[in-house]
Structure 1
C-alpha cells in the first residue's frame, strides 16, 4: 500500500467515527404510550398507570 492510500483510509475511518458519535439524539428516541399507560424505564415497556 502506498502512503497516500493509508492516509485516505485513516481519514475516512476517523471522519465516519466522528459522525457516528456527533449526534447522540439518535439513541434518545421519544416513546409514546397509549392512553392510560406510562413508560417504565426499568422494563422498557408501557405499563398501566396507577393512580394514588
Structure 2
C-alpha cells in the first residue's frame, strides 16, 4: 500500500467519529429541561417563565 492510500483510509475512518462527537459539544435545551412554571421559547431557545394572564 502506498502512503496516500493509508492516509485516505485513515481520514475516511475518522470522519464518522468526528461528526458524531460534534453533537455532544453544544448544550441542547428543549421543553423537557425547563423547570416548574417555565415553558420553552422556540424563538430564543431558552426556558422562560409562564405568564399568568
Q: TM-score range by the shorter chain?
A: 0.5 to 0.7
2:13 alignment partner, one of 12, 15, 40: 15
- Could you give the per-residue CA deviations for residues 21-45 of structure 1, whole angstroms, max 9, x where no partner exists? 4x4xx36845412211122121011
Which consecutive residues of structure 2, in runs of 5 or more, have no partner in the other structure? none
Alignment partners' CA distance in 2, 1:35 and 1:51: 14
Aligned partner of 2:3 among 2, 5, 17: 5
Which stretches in structure 1 are left out of the alignment for 5+ residues? none
Q: Does the alignment pair 1:42 with 2:43?
A: yes
Question: TM-score with structure 1 length normalisation?
Answer: 0.54
Larger RCO of the pair (alpha carbons < 8 Å, separation 6+): 2
TM-score, normalised with respect to structure 2: 0.54
